[in-house]
Amino acid sequence: MKIVGIAACTAGIAHTYIAKEKLIQAGIDRGHDIHIETQGLAGTQDGLTQQQIDEADVVIIAADIKVNGRDRFKNKKIVEVPTGLVVKSPNKLVEKLEEVKA
């Protein structure tokens, strides 16, 4: 499965990057192709390409704040969760994404 998403927390520092790394590792561990962009005080990093978005089966938005560029995900299945949930249970979240895709 191909997963894309955005991680963003209120400070744009710790939880943003921890959530990104945990999501990527959980996705890879379950055999998925996953790309996560971050948004925060440092701006947007690892921005998603239109091709990655077009090919994605599901979009995860792990955010505690409003994220920019939501319009890019038109007609995609989107799952929204707080960053804290990703930090605590990344594997369960990826399992849930698999169910959404099915």
Q: Domains in the chain and their CATH numbers? A: 2-101 (3.40.50.2300)
pLDDT reported for residue 43: 86
Is residue 5 part of the annotated active site? The answer reads: no
For 9-38, the pLDDT digits (tens) are 887 678 899 999 999 999 999 999 999 999
Catalytic residue among 4, 7, 9, 56: 9
| pLDDT given for residue 96 in this prediction | 87
pLDDT at 7: 95
Q: Which helix (H) or strand (E) holds 28?
A: helix 14-29
Q: Which residues of the chain have pLDDT under 70?
A: 12, 102
Looking at residue 14, its pLDDT comes to 84
Does pTM top 0.75 for this prediction?
yes
Rounded Cα gap, residues 98 and 92, in angstroms:
10
